[in-house]
Amino acid sequence: MYTIHLKNNKSYTCDESTSLLRGALNNDISLEYSCLEARCRSCKVKILQGKVENLQDEEVLTAEEKAQGYVLSCNVVPRSDIVLNVEDLDIKLPKSQVTPSKISLITPISTHVLKIVLRLPPKVDFQFLAGQYIDIIRNNNKRSYSISHYKYENNELTLFIRNYEGGLFSNYWFNEAKVNDLLRLEGPLGTFFYRHNEACTDIVLLATGTGIAPIKAILEQLQDNPQQLTSKKIWLLWGGRKKEDLFWEPTYDLHSFSYIPVLTREEEWQGARGYIQEIATKLPINWNTAQVYACGSEQMIQNAQTLLIQQGLKEEYFFADIFVAGGNSNKN
């Protein structure tokens, strides 16, 4: 058993067969993470002292980052005591659990997107933070889906699921799934959630496609807590190719809320055109005191982070949930 030390003087124990991230979560220490499969960069940490062993190649890290001591906490196991250059999130995340569920509703909301409602057993106390996701487990495979709402009511979870050609679960959802089908789910998972900051003047929400799901949940949380929004402006930029990709209409009674839909391939479109991160730079946002919450493709998020930091955004105020392509556990 090894001791893992954090930057803010907290520590936890971790055995040689458990990843640094899983060891932290097992000890109620909350570190940033998303995919759990070394395929995004959310759990990147820097090792100051100690030795670790990789579980698989960390392809998403550059050679320069690896040389500087960066690793993915979900993908390394300790081989000595470790000192990490990272602080915990100073929040107790809801405990993840595996539970059965039944499909209670399947509704097409666009050509390529379904609204799926899952009902959990009455005795299951499923607590989650707005922005977190679940894994659906089927035939020993997992697929990740963000919860699209803030409150857990009537033992139900609602998901937005896109049809991807060759997608691991797409054929099931769009051709085979029936009401009352029994599914297992694991969750809640991830650390994509709203971080209240009194000094923040602008809350910028970026989403592409079904990446709107956790953003919608965060918006519902903000509407439910108006006292947190004094003197703050909220900006929502949601991008797609065609009008049908924007399958949901945000109607919130929020203080100083601006919604900018953005399309790239709609000929009869009079609104904003292009990429949401580029449109964002043209808005009257005070980037020095802004927070950004971005959910969508890896390319959009990496580009947005680089571009908005150039505008003056502090790197630690860029929060993202990447929908990685391919594999077992991608989010829709």
194: in domain? no
Residues 78 and 151 placed together within one structural domain of the fold: no
Query: Can you tell me the distance from the alpha carbon of 63 to that of 31, in angstroms, rounded to the nearest whole number?
Result: 23
Residues 72 and 128 placed together within one structural domain of the fold: no
Residue type at position 211: G
Domain edge (last residue) among 189, 221, 246: 189
Answer whether 29's CB lies under 8 Å from 8's CB.
no
Residue 331's pLDDT band (cuts 50, 70, 90): low
89: in domain? no
Residues 185 and 233 placed together within one structural domain of the fold: no
92: in domain? no
The model's pLDDT over 95-106, given as tens digits with 9 standing for 90+, comes to 999 999 999 999
Residue type at position 272: A
The model's pLDDT over 149-203, given as tens digits with 9 standing for 90+, comes to 999 999 999 999 999 888 889 999 999 999 999 999 999 999 999 999 999 999 9
**pTM for the structure as a whole:** 0.93
Residues 218 and 172 placed together within one structural domain of the fold: no
Question: Exposed/middle/buried for 220, CB within 10 Å: 0-12, 13-18, 19+?
Answer: middle
pLDDT for 39 equals 83
Total domains in the fold of the chain: 3
Domain edge (last residue) among 31, 56, 84: 84
Residues 305 and 210 placed together within one structural domain of the fold: yes
90: in domain? no
How would you list the strands of the sheet with 82-84, edge to edge? 11-14, 2-5, 82-84, 44-49, 70-72
Answer whether 101's CB lies under 8 Å from 126's CB.
no
Domain edge (last residue) among 52, 84, 116: 84
Mean pLDDT estimate for the chain: 93
pLDDT for 212 equals 97
Residues 20 and 114 placed together within one structural domain of the fold: no
Question: Exposed/middle/buried for 62, CB within 10 Å: 0-12, 13-18, 19+?
Answer: exposed
266: in domain? yes
**CATH number for 254:** 3.40.50.80
Residues 210 and 303 placed together within one structural domain of the fold: yes
Residues 312 and 276 placed together within one structural domain of the fold: yes
Structural domain that includes position 230? 202-323
The overall longest dimension of the chain from CA atoms, in Å, is 62
Higher pLDDT, 326 or 285: 285
Residues 299 and 210 placed together within one structural domain of the fold: yes
Answer whether 83's CB lies under 8 Å from 49's CB.
yes
Query: Can you tell me the distance from the alpha carbon of 284 to that of 281, in angstroms, rounded to the nearest whole number?
Result: 8
Residues 133 and 172 placed together within one structural domain of the fold: yes
The model's pLDDT over 250-270, given as tens digits with 9 standing for 90+, comes to 988 887 999 999 999 888 888
Residues 209 and 318 placed together within one structural domain of the fold: yes
Range with the poorest average pLDDT among 5-9, 226-230, 243-247, 272-276: 226-230
Residues 211 and 317 placed together within one structural domain of the fold: yes
